Amino acid sequence: MLEKVSFRDTLFEAGLLVASGVDGIYGRSGDFEAVVDGIDGLISRDGAMPGAEVVRFPPAMPRSVIETSGYLKGFPHLAGTVHCFCGDDQAHKKLLQCLDDKEDWTGQQKSVDLALTPAACYPVYPMIASRGPVKMDGHIIDVSSYCFRHEPSLEPTRMQMFRMREFVCIATPEITKAFRDRWVERGHAIVSALGLPVAVDLANDPFFGRGGKIMADSQRDQALKFELLVPVNSAETPTACLSFNYHIDHFSSIWDLKMQDGRLAHTACVGFGFERLALALFRHHGLNRAGWPAHVRAALWPN
């Protein structure tokens, strides 16, 4: 625990992260962002997927997407919805009175039709489904967004708002499974080239509650999720910086994503956590990026 707090404090003192008063919500310095941009460029070069469709989504999406996708079954505790004030002058007066009296004014707000994006790929499935059947050699989407998970933490690697880039594959079972397996290797190579100690391990999502245990076990039994781990906060509990997920037909059955032959598509994704990768680099190569090994700097900033 002490060590975790102290890495965060080190980052605050170095000015790389800026405290906001809420754990997991931080400002990022120009140097931190240069590292994130470097990682983004490296993924584009060394992870290039010819023919991939590039889409960037905002940090919020229709609430119906989080409802339909099954997210609230597995991760109700991590989801965030948006609430807004929809009243008149009279209601506004009441809101301001609550604020003055240090009472909860958010009761004056209503839930609107938006939820915060929990992972970059969630808006992809309804987007592709709306276009009709997927061509038989599949479709790759290159997607990225700010994501939200309600899990305040003292570990700097566990932010409430963070950026994720993903490649999503929507294709036949064979192509989709091969995509996921190929990315385990590619991800390993890309992160190793950054001079980071890397391990890949079977993993499960942090499903909620008593029922969650069963879902996690089933996910492990089927070897659906792998993570690329780098020690950041501690050697004992390394941090998942990439994840490789084979969803079988979870999303395609929900969104009725079909292939041109009429069968359900399968889906898979690889996700890169920008902040976690940046923090791993600062942890292993030092707080001053100018002093990082030449091959790491060349990989991040080739020009």
Please, which contacts does 207-213 make with residues 24 or more away whose CB atoms are closer than 8 Å? Answer: 207/74, 207/75, 208/74, 208/75, 208/76, 208/77, 212/74
Shortest distance, CB of residue 14 to a second copy, whole angstroms? 14
Residue appearing with tokens 């010819």: 50
Residue whose CB is less far from a second copy, 95 or 193: 95
Site for a second copy in 101-120 (CB under 8 A): 104-106, 109, 111-114, 116
- Backbone φ, ψ for residue 107 (5° rounding): -65, -20
Interface size with a second copy, residues (CB under 8 A): 68
To a second copy, the closest distance from the beta carbon of 79 in angstroms equals 7
CA 136 to the chain's CA centroid: 28
48 binds a second copy per the rule CB under 8 A = no
Draw the binding track, 133-152, toward a second copy (x: CB under 8 A; -: no contact): ---------x---x-x-x--
55-63, 177-185, 237-245, 249-257 -> range binding a second copy (CB under 8 A): 55-63
CA angle 187, 192, 154 (to 5 degrees): 85
Query: Which of 45, 56, 182, 213 forms a contact with a second copy (CB under 8 A)?
Result: 56
Question: Which residues are at the interface with a second copy (CB under 8 A)?
Answer: 18, 20-22, 25-30, 32-33, 53-62, 64-65, 67, 72-73, 76-77, 79-89, 92, 95-96, 99, 104-106, 109, 111-114, 116, 123, 126-127, 142, 146, 148, 150, 159-162, 208-211
